[in-house]
Amino acid sequence: MSFSVEYVPNREEVLKESDEKCREQAAILSTVGWLFVDPEFFPDAKSLGNKPEREITKKKKDYENVNDPWFPPHQLMTSWSRTDGNKWQVWDDPWPFHVCQGETGDCWLMAALMTIARRKELLEQIIPKRYYTLKHGIVQVRLFVDGKWKMITTDFHIPQQNGIERFSQLSGNQTWVAFIEKAYAKLKGSYGHLWGGHSVDAYRYLTGAHSRIIPLERNLDIDGLWADLVKFHSSGFLLAAATPRVLEEEKLRKVFYNYYSIESNHAYAILDFKKYGMHRLIQLGNPNSVRWNGKWSEMANYNDATSKKFSELDRTLSKAKVFWMSIEDFVRFYNEIHVCEYQEGWTDYQFKQKISRASRHDGLIIRLNIEKPTDVNIEAHISGENVEQVFLNIHRATNENQCGELIKSVYNQESTLTLGGLTLLPGTYFVVMVCCEVLPKLDVNWMIKRYQALSMKIPNIYFSSSPLTYHFVSCSFSLFVDSLQQVIMKDGNIDEEGEDITIFRLDRVGGAYIMAENRMSYGYFEIQGNLKSTDAYRSKSKNFFNAPMFLAPMTRRIVGVIEFNYDFVSSESCYDYGSNYSVLFRVWKLYGSVNAELEELYEPIRVTKDLNQSEV
């Protein structure tokens, strides 16, 4: 076994280091009277990029006049329409309607920015106000990239055509939207690479918080959805919604969306909720200026006291971009909700780990010590071999330093595992990363978050979130085995249960785990498994099958692991895939030792499960 752990600067430390460098650079620029020009993202055609081929038609051309110079904000024509003449600020009293999408398909980013406009603490974290931004053109944007905080430094030159911004518009005297968009473009390589995305990805970059998509299925429970959305909103979570792609051949559906001025394949911000009599209403914001014209669309977005404080431009933007809609209409037009579980007042601890462990060798786990009830998120951004086979589990620790109760387990076929929404009571916990087969070589970026601002109520006593301590500890191979077996027992199903033996099966996207438990106190079982797949050409591994295995008294053992490769068949944004398999087990009961005479105890146990998944 080999491992290494490196502690990573948190978001405050990352900003402090970058801020010092920018101040030094600003001092140099001040002596020569120059403005900063980013050499890594030069204001030219390469940084502008190209539209995707699907967006280029006879009516829609690629970007034109790509060699036009980029302007500082005060040189753009729209600067004359701002308040206070030519003065501009990074941000000052921003509102959702100040976010205006330009000539690129980044509604997924713009919708996310609309939802954070009133979160000044979060905005200060993402794009801090600094004197050198206004004076020397040095812009800093802090994003969460590949599991760690990173400062993206750019200059303040904005792509323009005929003196008007090409992309996100500068509303009033604020430039924060354009600067964040530019940082994203630098991260992706060009503005052209911003076409198409998901708001959950934007949320992840902007906040570092766990984000997920809730699909809106047909015949869903609207009452339950409303309760969940209100709960998310009251918890301070950020919310966005998306409409489905409506194809040209879906003429009636296209007419339906066009009639009510709802854009298909588009992201919207979810801004507020309220009840009006018996009606449940959702306030939405469109990064563009195409406004829903159905029922409740004419309801005032803000009360009179708030609206009176707006400038004439703000009132115009509010009316054009923000609207109310009933939840019944909402589920007719939208097919996804994007949830970002961000909450203010949290502290993060970051560190990197390299893992290379041979089969059955000891390994490292994270030990958490909690003194008072604490709200915790644990995230692991992993890269390396077979990341889709990795589980991340959290257990209570026993007095014997073994895995006690399994509190939560997650696995993911992507690169990020998140144990979110944990309220840990006082005690000791083990965080275990485990793989059924030989643990591959992995690079892991860990982030442990504790929430300071939250509180919880337990029998009339209020506890504020408290600090936690953590460290890596060495443990035996058997602890990893026990952790995974608990996952199969808790989250899996019982396929067959006899007098002395139980067969468990845990299904997951891409395969299944099968485990047997011998409850006899004196006898062994011999188990022979045979995998038959109707999609055999997709079979990736048939671990432990086609060879006899012995199961000792009062033990559990994983007796089969099935993994499949998938051939994705794409139709626009929809992917359908599935695999069918059956497992035939023969089980013999052995009396005395494993060399004793075999006696067939059960008829063959047949386990059949169809995996038919659909992902949009």
Closest-CA residue to 188 (of 47, 62, 39, 18): 47
Q: Residue 223 in contact with residue 132, Cβ under 8 Å?
A: no
Tens of pLDDT, residues 61-89: 788 888 999 999 988 876 545 555 547 88
Nearest to 107, CA basis, from 41, 201, 172: 201
266 is known as an active-site residue: yes
Confidence of residue 594 (pLDDT cuts 50, 70, 90): very low
Tell me whether residue 369 is one of the annotated catalytic residues.
Answer: no
Q: Tell me which of 26-35, 119-128, 476-485, 556-565 is least confident.
A: 556-565
DSSP 8-state assignment for residue 71: B
Q: What whole-number distance in Å separates Cα of residue 505 and Cα of residue 605? A: 13
Provide Rg for the chain, Cα atoms. Answer: 28
Q: Maximum distance among all alpha carbons in the chain?
A: 96
- Selected catalytic residue, list 157, 198, 210, 266: 266
Tokens, residue 59: 């009516």
Strands 468-475 and 363-370: antiparallel
Which domains can be identified in the chain, with CATH numbers?
2-197 (no CATH), 211-340 (3.90.70.10), 346-485 (2.60.120.380), 492-615 (2.60.40)
Mean pLDDT value across residues 328-353: 90
Amino acid letter for position 424: L
Count Cα atoms within 13 angstroms, Cβ side, for 535.
Answer: 21
Q: Do residues 339 and 288 make contact, with C-beta atoms less than 8 angstroms apart?
A: no
Query: What's the number of CA atoms in the CB half-sphere (13 Å) around residue 533?
Result: 19
Give the Cα separation of 374 and 140 in Å (integer).
32
* Averaged pLDDT for residues 255-275: 95
Cα–Cα distance between 336 and 334 in angstroms, integer?
A: 6
Q: Among candidates 499, 473, 390, which has minimal Cα distance to 434?
A: 390
Stated as kind and residue range, the H or E segment containing 279 is strand 279-285
The region of weakest confidence among 175-189, 195-209, 237-251, 452-466 is 452-466
Lowest mean pLDDT among 123-132, 489-498, 591-600: 591-600
β-pairing verdict for 524-533 and 549-551: antiparallel
Per the listing, tokens 């491992």 go with: 3
- By the 8 A CB rule, do 430 and 397 touch? yes
**Count of C-beta atoms within a 10 Å radius of residue 458:** 10
Cβ-based burial of 40 (10 A; exposed 0-12, middle 13-18, buried ≥19): exposed
The model's pTM is: 0.78
Q: State how far the Cα of 244 lies from the Cα of 209, in Å rounded to an integer.
A: 25
> Does 286 qualify as catalytic in the annotation?
yes
pLDDT at 31 over 50: yes
Euclidean distance between CA atoms 537 and 445, whole angstroms = 35
Of 107, 340, 403, 436, the active-site residue reads: 107
Of 173, 286, 301, 518, which one is the catalytic site residue? 286
